[in-house]
Amino acid sequence: MQALHQKAQELLESGRAKVIIGYGSGSGEKVRPVFVRNIADAPKLVWDQRCRQNLAVYLAKPEIKKMGMPAMVATPVVVRSIVQLIAERQLKCFELITLVIENAVVSELTDNAALEAYVANHPVVFPPPVKKEIETLAAMSVEERFKFWQDELSRCFKCYACRSSCPLCYCERCITECNQPQWVDVAPHALGNFEWHINRAMHMAGRCVQCGSCNIACPVGIPIALLTIEATRFVEREFGQHAGTQCNSPAALSSFRVEDKETFIL
Amino acid sequence: MDSQFEPKILAFVCNWCTYAGADLTGTSRIKYATNVRIVRFPCTGRIDYNLLLRAFAQGADGIIVSGCHPNDCHYTSGNFHARRRWMVFRQMMEYMGIDMRRVKFSWVSAAEGAKWAEVVNSAVADVRELGPSKAFQAMAREVA
Amino acid sequence: MTSYSLTHENLLKLIVAIAVPGREVYAPQRRGEKTFFAPVADVKAIGFDYVKTAESPKDLLFPKYQKLISFEYKGAELEVNDHAETPPPERVLFGSHPCDAVALQRLTDFFSRDIADTFVAQRRDALTVISMSCTKADADCFCTSTGSSPGDTTGSDILLTPSGEGRYYVESLTEKGEALVASQRSLFGPSAPIDKEACLSKVEKKFSPEEIAEKLAGAFGDQIWNDASLRCIGCGACAFVCPMCSCFDIQDEGSYKKGARVRCWDSCGFSLFTQHTSGHNPRPAQSDRWRQRVMHKFSYQPQQYELLGCVGCGRCSRACPADMNLKEQLIDIAAKVNPV
């Protein structure tokens, strides 16, 4: 952490960064996102195993963009998000300073190649409960999965915490906020919830970087990450495109290969 | 299964291939199941999966989505985009518990009048066996 | 108020006895790491040892989704259904905490102002609230800073306080409460005087609502909102788990043959909450929306309706993905904002 504080101070002092976005002490034992703009506040930055929340979500916020050059304390999921945002032309690697910490050493990932190399060295890891859920669902029949999701989604009240915590959900007007036509029923009944979540999964296919922030964000404990993870892993298997790994890659659902293979078209 | 049950099938087809193919089925006087209502699109690339969701929500028991064969798309690549979309959509629907045997995807060209009749007949037969769409009925019950 | 005593064994018998067909009993039940109010299938599943449910019980008065009017064409005949004419089912809410009961009371009050909301009134009439005083609190609780307490009787029909040795001190507070006791009178014993205060959890008072209201009176232009809201991601989690948030959206759904006008929960934290058709948005920044949330609850509602918009249950803080922590922010406001 010393190294992180030092780095933060250096960046602010030299003017290279106007804000350090990282983790700081939160309520009780939690950590929370912090935005350090004064050198004196640099010691507020924290770095330990609690730092899991995906901070990349703040990169799209107008309030943050207005502050000037950000430096972001990046966990592997954050780096994946940054790579995906670069691939989607939302960001360029020099528009932020990506800080990674390994063995108490803080380094900057200064270009696309460095970002990609870091991602390659830190593959996606699911916590055991998520792994187990993925396996359990895969083993269920269609009817069992219907029951599972209807039961889980019955608690959904469309707070959109899942969407708001996701760095790849940066649309200024979400599909749910369009009423000409109203594609997704606004109300949180069974159909409205189904429509919302399948739309989000489709919009995340090949884009979700599998960080699990949506799971953490859901206030009623729905394992919602399972949907977007399924969509993105399907794209990995079928189209060979892995979200968050290549700074120059076409969007999976806006591109195609002539040799895309399917088994169901008559 | 209810022997009286006549499934309602909605077909989303592209103008240049399948719609023309369906015309050929008619002019060739080929008889086929009458359960299908056809909706014409310029291209399968224009077909949004939300339309399929709407169709189910409004009471369709089955859906057919059909267009030009790969490499034959009137707009060059619309059907390639559609194919990818359908692959992901099918997967996600199955993952969320919807039986995708209710949805038939096909490539039917303007010359394949006989094939269109086959696609429709098989769709109607399969959906008749599956019965009325319970999943969407259950979800839509709360809506109105 | 009449008092009784009740053993835990008899309490479970009471719940079984009141769960007759036609009457739904809701009680806290554990699901994974969280507790929710849900219909009781088995009394053994009821949670007695929880601090707060993830969701508030406001859903019982003001559901997350509610049909107001529906229509259907049956052939050429048009059938219209005014759902205010459908009486809601009789319900009992068991195991809510005093903060929840206070909120239900204030919510009912708020919806009865001006043109009374029939749906909420009907649901409150059909609801009996049996609350449980708090013997446990956590760092997010701040009921004592909102004029309430872990043993507050406001809003409950019956309040139970664990008095030790598997017994409860029962306060029957309303006609409904008395009627319920009378229906199972044999389960209740005479009450012995207890030191109720001693049985309750301690929640340290951090500020008073008057103090906050005073500070907020001139705080619209204050700088405090900018930094305070930086980490807010603009979701609706806080508004939806809050037992007092009452903003809603009206939607028309369905087709030309069959449809309904429905209302569902909405949140002032959403970026398009105040978007006008012209494209203008009077609250374009998250700091505007965060300020609105705090001022609505602690300044505008008290001013306009003499109703504090918060009961200090702490659900917003527990649900917030960005750890906004309302209690902490209010302590901050009390310390930093200069009153007008």
Q: What is the mean pLDDT of residues A204-216?
A: 95
Q: Is C48 helix (H, G, I), strand (E, B) or coil?
A: coil
Domain's final residue, options C199, C233, C265:
C199
pLDDT at residue number C255: 85
Q: What is the mean pLDDT of residues C148-171?
A: 95
pLDDT band for B140, please (50, 70, 90 cuts): confident
**Alpha carbon distances (Å) from C37 to C34, C177, C246:** 10, 20, 19
**Structural domain boundaries enclosing C258:** 209-336
Among chain B residues, CA nearest to C261: B144
Least confident of A70-74, A235-239, B38-42, C217-221: C217-221
**Nearest CA to CA, how far is C180 from chain A (Å)?**
30
Same domain, C138 and C232: no
- Please state whether the peptide bond connecting residue A181 to the residue before it is cis, i.e. omega within 30 degrees of 0: yes
Domain's final residue, options C199, C220, C249:
C199
Same domain, C221 and C314: yes
d(CA A109, CA A125): 21
Q: What is the mean pLDDT of residues B8-27?
A: 97
d(CA B19, CA B108): 9
pLDDT at residue number B3: 61
pLDDT band for B84, please (50, 70, 90 cuts): very high
Same domain, C127 and C267: no
Tell me: pLDDT of A26 over 80: yes
Helix then strand count (H, E) for chain A reads 10, 6
pLDDT, averaged across chain A: 95
Residues of B in contact with C255 (CB under 8 A): 58, 144
In a domain, B4, yes or no: no
DSSP state of A128: H
In a domain, C44, yes or no: yes
pLDDT band for C336, please (50, 70, 90 cuts): confident
How many domains, in total, are found in chain C?
Answer: 2
Q: Tell me what percent of the residues of chain C surpass a pLDDT of 90.
A: 91
Q: What is the dihedral of CA C188, C190, C193, C196, to 10 degrees?
A: 10
pLDDT at residue number A181: 87
Q: Does C139 touch chain A (CB under 8 A)?
A: yes
pLDDT at residue number A180: 87
d(CA A237, CA A233): 6
d(CA C62, CA C83): 14
Residues in chain B: 144
The string of pLDDT tens digits covering residues B86-130 is: 999 999 999 999 999 999 999 999 999 999 999 999 999 999 999
In a domain, B3, yes or no: no
Same domain, C190 and C217: no
pLDDT at residue number A239: 95
From the list C234, C272, C323, the residue facing A26 with the nearest CB is: C323
pLDDT at residue number C192: 81
In a domain, B32, yes or no: yes
In a domain, C204, yes or no: no
**Nearest CA to CA, how far is C161 from chain B (Å)?**
39
pLDDT at residue number B144: 57
Q: What is the mean pLDDT of residues A190-216?
A: 96
Same domain, C231 and C167: no
In a domain, C53, yes or no: yes
pLDDT at residue number C339: 72
- Tokens in use for A241? 């495109």
Among chain A residues, CA nearest to B87: A262
**Structural domain boundaries enclosing B35:** 9-140
d(CA A204, CA A228): 6
d(CA A117, CA A115): 5
Same domain, C37 and C6: yes
Residue with tokens 């300020």: C291
Domain's final residue, options C199, C232, C262:
C199
The string of pLDDT tens digits covering residues C168-220 is: 999 999 999 999 999 999 999 998 888 999 999 999 999 999 999 999 998 99
Q: What is the mean pLDDT of residues A150-159?
A: 96
Among chain B residues, CA nearest to A186: B143
d(CA A197, CA C322): 22
pLDDT at residue number A127: 82
**Alpha carbon distances (Å) from C254 to A174, A199, A200, C211:** 21, 19, 22, 48
pLDDT at residue number C340: 64
**Nearest CA to CA, how far is C58 from chain B (Å)?**
20
Same domain, C184 and C225: no
Same domain, C156 and C66: yes
* A205–B88 CB contact, under 8 Å: yes
Kindly list the partner chains of chain C, i.e. chains with 3 or more CB atom pairs below 8 Å: A, B
Helix axes A112-121, A76-87, angle to 10 degrees: 140
In a domain, C280, yes or no: yes
pLDDT at residue number C164: 87
Same domain, C170 and C287: no
pLDDT at residue number C11: 96
Q: What is the mean pLDDT of residues C233-251?
A: 96
The string of pLDDT tens digits covering residues C269-293 is: 999 999 999 999 999 999 999 999 9
d(CA A172, CA B97): 31
Q: Are B35 and B61 in contact (CB under 8 A)?
A: no
* C65–B142 CB contact, under 8 Å: yes
The string of pLDDT tens digits covering residues C28-53 is: 999 989 999 999 999 999 999 899 99
Among chain A residues, CA nearest to C285: A63
* A265–B106 CB contact, under 8 Å: yes
Same domain, C25 and C76: yes
From the candidates A183, A198, A207, which should be mutated to test the interface with B, based on the most B CB atoms within 10 A?
A198
Q: Tell me what percent of the residues of chain C surpass a pLDDT of 70.
A: 100
What kind and span of H or E run contains C127? strand C127-132
Phi, psi angle pair for C6, to nearest 5°? -145, 135
How many domains, in total, are found in chain B?
Answer: 1
Tell me: pLDDT of B1 over 70: no
Q: Does A133 touch chain B (CB under 8 A)?
A: no
Which of A82, A228, A174, A34 minimizes the C-alpha distance to C235? A174
Q: Does C334 touch chain A (CB under 8 A)?
A: no
Q: Are C238 and C324 in contact (CB under 8 A)?
A: yes
Taking the domains of chain A in order of start, what are their residue ranges? 2-121, 128-254
Same domain, C84 and C129: yes
d(CA C212, CA C197): 26
**Nearest CA to CA, how far is B143 from chain C (Å)?**
7
pLDDT at residue number C153: 96
Same domain, C216 and C189: no
The domain that holds B22 is classified in CATH as: 3.40.50
Residues of A in contact with B84 (CB under 8 A): 239, 252-253, 255-256, 260
d(CA B65, CA B68): 11
Tell me: pLDDT of A117 over 90: yes
pLDDT at residue number B45: 96
Q: Does A30 touch chain C (CB under 8 A)?
A: yes
Q: Does C254 touch chain A (CB under 8 A)?
A: no
pLDDT band for A129, please (50, 70, 90 cuts): confident
Tell me: pLDDT of A146 over 90: yes
Q: What is the mean pLDDT of residues B51-58?
A: 94
